[in-house]
Amino acid sequence: MTADLRTTTGESLYPRLEPLLAQIQKPIQYVGGELNAQVKHWDAARVHWALMYPDAYEVGLPNQGLMILYEVLNERSDALAERTYAVWPDLAALMREHGVPQFTVDGHRAVADFDLLGVSFATELGYTNLLEALDLAGVPLHAVDRDESHPVVVAGGHAAFNPEPVADFVDCAVLGDGEQAVGDITDVVGAWKEQGRPGGREELLARLARVDGVYVPRFYAMTYAADGAIAAVTQTRDDVPEKVGKRTVMDLDEWPYPKQPLVPLAESVHERMSVEIFRGCTRGCRFCQAGMITRPVRERTITGIGSMVDQGLKATGYEEVGLLSLSSADHSEIGQLAKELADRYEGTNTGLSLPSTRVDAFNVTLANELSRNGRRSGLTFAPEGGSERIRRVINKTVSKEDLVRTVTTAYANGWTQVKLYFMCGLPTETDEDVLEIADLAVEVIRAGREASGRKDIRCTVSIGGFVPKPHTPFQWAGQASAETIDHRLRVLRAKINEDRKIGRSIGLRYHDGKPGVIEGLLSRGDRRVGRVIERVWREGGRFDGWSEHFSYDRWVAAATEELAPFGVDLDWYTTRERTEHEILPWDHLDSGLDKEWLWEDWQAAISEDEVADCRWTPCYDCGVCPTNGTEIQIGPTGRSLLPLTVV
């Protein structure tokens, strides 16, 4: 830990940080002052939140979740929220040398001064960065070593649906949507402070454990059976719930955040603003954790979206707006929305875009409409599986003919770059399933050249290794080994290169299978995995999402040594297929999905049986709506975008 020279709580560390900034790479990421950032008076707020995205600033700044909570909290008069990001090793070394602790970029206040440290985990590969930040902050790594002077460390984001691997390091985890949960937590912490912190940290955490959607790991004990599996999860207090449910924001129009999106000076991974057009997805893709844990579908209305786009553009000066969701073309009024937005911004050099979409000819029409005004970049489709058979297994059915026809339509409409996303290592997959990706790409180029009359069209095939995730039908699946993934990618590359005349128009982008194995360990791990994470961090592991920092060998060595005393190993967590009644580390965390339904859907996957979307067909009893008292919220509303007042 670093020597701490501060005297006043909430004091700015900037004067001590500034000389260090002159000696490092990209100092702009640490100075704050982004457009729409805010620094509130420390003493005016009762509850202070430091919000962390545990990756580099350029990745973390555009994160919508963090931006939403930052604004929601700062709108409260009794709360203050500032942001902090993972510090690169060059600055971290100088901070340790000069005794400068982990700081927020807004007020440059010490993270240790805050009441809460909220950490948003979009991916498990941020876990070592949490440990680094805690250590730089001077906050004890283990939750049990903290007292009431330390911040309460709260995990959120999709990875928080199985926080067990970081259970020793966080004080609590929030399941589901954060907008309302952070308000409830603020109320609890504020009241406890005002009452003079009765009962110390234990009492505060007990109160938090009674907040809907908040899980406090220390109040749940794990025991393990001889075969290594969990024997039981038991509550250590009788006033905490047996199962912790998730939070669901039902009316997105009531939460039009971010209203004032942050605009960095530094370059970030998304040089655009985003508007979330709906939340949740019931397409039922079996690999997709996001689609499973964010149910049901809740649409923002067309008018709500229109005003967020308008206000956001005025507040930021961005020239591109992404219409964000898990499957944006599924919005019930997407056609009208695309047309009316394109009409509205005609001639203003404003671009509109959709993230990767399902393979559907309608999506080409949509993309044509959206690109009317701005730059026509590439189009991305996500067939995910190489063969029709494997696409039935993952429940993302599209025929080969439809796929080729859709992509050909895109080329015929003047799009010259098409990107196709696939996964490798899916359950039941064979080499043949993956090799079909090559056939598809070749046929797409052949048909595309013919339809467009151009030779310079390109198709980029982007492949990710599949990692089974908690709360999905594939949570029982054995993960493909790194060797399997690497082998399949090798044969695929060879096949694409067989015909150079076509192959030169096809790009292949992929990573080797190793990082996926570690992601798999962290995704489906239990509390015993925490020792592996800590060991890796102690040996220098940081920024595991970055190939230049990730060390597979370090992870494997740490896993081997730390897990051996428990009689389990890396394979046990990754390539091993689970049995139906094994207690999974996240069974006491309730996404609303019925475990029996998940198992049935897993069996259906193996039998290559499909499930239809419950928005347009009868309910198939996944369990989410009755468990949480929620329902599907979709249009059409029948409304149109109001014309903008001329400025």
Partner 1 sequence: MARQPDGPPPPPTVQKLRIRYAKRGRLRFASHRDLARALERALRRARVPMAFSAGFSPHPKISYLGAAPTGAASEAEYVEIGLSVRCDPEAVRAALDAALPEDVAVLDCVEAQEGTGSLADRIDTSVWRVELPGLDPDELTRAVEAFLAADVVTVAKRTKNGLKDIDARPSVTSASASAGVGCAILHMVVRQGTPAVRPDDVLAALAAVADLRPPLPPRAVREAQGRLDDTGTVADPLEPDRTAGAPDQEAHATV
Q: Which is nearer to partner 1, 35 or 225 (CB)?
A: 35
Q: Which is nearer to partner 1, 266 or 632 (CB)?
A: 266
Q: Which of 142, 210, 243, 375 binds partner 1 (CB under 8 A)?
A: 375
- Site for partner 1 contains 33 (CB under 8 A): yes
CB of 162 to partner 1, least distance (A): 38
Say how far apart CA 184 and CA 72 lie, in whole Å: 12
Question: Which string of x and - marks every residue 136-155 that binds partner 1 (by CB under 8 A)?
Answer: --------------------
- Site for partner 1 contains 93 (CB under 8 A): no
Q: Which of 3, 5, 23, 617 binds partner 1 (CB under 8 A)?
A: 23
Q: Which is nearer to partner 1, 27 or 140 (CB)?
A: 27
Cis peptide before 626 (omega within 30 of 0): no
Say how far apart CA 521 and CA 455 lie, in whole Å: 44
- Site for partner 1 contains 540 (CB under 8 A): no
- Site for partner 1 contains 451 (CB under 8 A): no
Q: Hey, what are 288's tokens? A: 């997709």
Of the candidate spans 116-124, 313-321, 397-405, 580-588, the one that interacts with partner 1 by CB under 8 A turns out to be 313-321
Of the candidate spans 39-47, 265-273, 277-285, 539-547, the one that interacts with partner 1 by CB under 8 A turns out to be 265-273
Q: Which is nearer to partner 1, 39 or 557 (CB)?
A: 39
Say how far apart CA 605 and CA 598 lie, in whole Å: 10
**378 CB burial (10 A radius; 0-12, 13-18, 19+):** middle
Q: Which is nearer to partner 1, 90 or 271 (CB)?
A: 271
Q: Which of 414, 540, 629, 636 binds partner 1 (CB under 8 A)?
A: 414
- Site for partner 1 contains 22 (CB under 8 A): yes
Q: Which of 242, 267, 621, 631 binds partner 1 (CB under 8 A)?
A: 267
**38 CB burial (10 A radius; 0-12, 13-18, 19+):** middle
- Site for partner 1 contains 318 (CB under 8 A): yes
Task: For residue 97, give Cα distances in angstroms to 20, 100, 134.
Answer: 10, 8, 16
Radius of gyration over alpha carbons of the chain, in Å? 25
The angle subtended at Cα 350 by Cα 349 and Cα 354, nearest 5°, is 135
Q: Which is nearer to partner 1, 82 or 330 (CB)?
A: 82
- Site for partner 1 contains 14 (CB under 8 A): yes
Cis peptide before 19 (omega within 30 of 0): no
Cβ distance 161 to 289 under 8 Å? yes
On the CB side of 91, CA atoms within 13 Å amount to 28
- Which residues within the stretch 270-289 sit at the binding site for partner 1 (CB under 8 A)? 271
- Site for partner 1 contains 647 (CB under 8 A): yes
Q: Which is nearer to partner 1, 142 or 314 (CB)?
A: 314
- Site for partner 1 contains 317 (CB under 8 A): yes
CB of 377 to partner 1, least distance (A): 9
**30 CB burial (10 A radius; 0-12, 13-18, 19+):** buried
Cβ distance 443 to 418 under 8 Å? no
User: Which 3 state secondary structure label does DSSP give 176?
Assistant: strand
Q: Which is nearer to partner 1, 38 or 235 (CB)?
A: 38
Q: Which is nearer to partner 1, 272 or 549 (CB)?
A: 272
Q: Which of 1, 21, 39, 451 binds partner 1 (CB under 8 A)?
A: 21
- Site for partner 1 contains 32 (CB under 8 A): yes
Q: Which of 19, 198, 200, 626 binds partner 1 (CB under 8 A)?
A: 19
Q: Which is nearer to partner 1, 346 or 431 (CB)?
A: 346
CB of 266 to partner 1, least distance (A): 6
Q: Hey, what are 401's tokens? A: 């003919």
Cis peptide before 636 (omega within 30 of 0): yes
Question: Which string of x and - marks every residue 326-355 that binds partner 1 (by CB under 8 A)?
Answer: -----------------------x------
Say how far apart CA 529 and CA 506 lie, in whole Å: 40
CB of 99 to partner 1, least distance (A): 15
Q: Which of 319, 571, 587, 613 binds partner 1 (CB under 8 A)?
A: 319
User: Which 3 state secondary structure label does DSSP give 518?
Assistant: helix
- Site for partner 1 contains 31 (CB under 8 A): yes
Of the candidate spans 14-22, 179-187, 518-526, 531-539, the one that interacts with partner 1 by CB under 8 A turns out to be 14-22
Of the candidate spans 15-23, 76-84, 162-170, 540-548, the one that interacts with partner 1 by CB under 8 A turns out to be 15-23
Torsions phi, psi for 19 (to 5 deg): -60, -25
What single string gives the DSSP state of each residue in 217-254?
GGGEEEEE-TTSSEEEEEESSTTS-SSB--B----GGG
Of the candidate spans 217-225, 371-379, 537-545, 562-570, the one that interacts with partner 1 by CB under 8 A turns out to be 371-379
What single string gives the DSSP state of each residue in 419-439?
EEEEEES-TT--HHHHHHHHH
CB of 281 to partner 1, least distance (A): 32
Task: For residue 410, give Cα distances in angstroms to 350, 381, 413, 454.
Answer: 21, 11, 5, 13
User: Which 3 state secondary structure label does DSSP give 641?
Assistant: coil
Count of residues interacting with partner 1 (CB under 8 A): 30
Give Cα 569 distance to the centre of its chain.
Answer: 27
- Site for partner 1 contains 266 (CB under 8 A): yes
CA neighbor of 472 nearest in space, from 325, 282, 298, 293: 293
Say how far apart CA 294 and CA 305 lie, in whole Å: 20
Q: Which is nearer to partner 1, 263 or 420 (CB)?
A: 263
CA neighbor of 386 nearest in space, from 376, 373, 400: 400
CB of 593 to partner 1, least distance (A): 42
Residue type, 390: I
Q: Hey, what are 495's tokens? A: 């096949």
CB of 373 to partner 1, least distance (A): 9
CB of 452 to partner 1, least distance (A): 10
Instruction: Specify the DSSP class assigned to residue 286.
Output: T
Q: Which is nearer to partner 1, 239 or 267 (CB)?
A: 267
- Site for partner 1 contains 560 (CB under 8 A): no
Q: Which is nearer to partner 1, 297 or 313 (CB)?
A: 313
Residues in contact with partner 1 by the rule CB under 8 A:
14, 19, 21-23, 26-28, 30-33, 35, 263, 265-267, 271, 314-319, 349, 372, 375-376, 414, 647
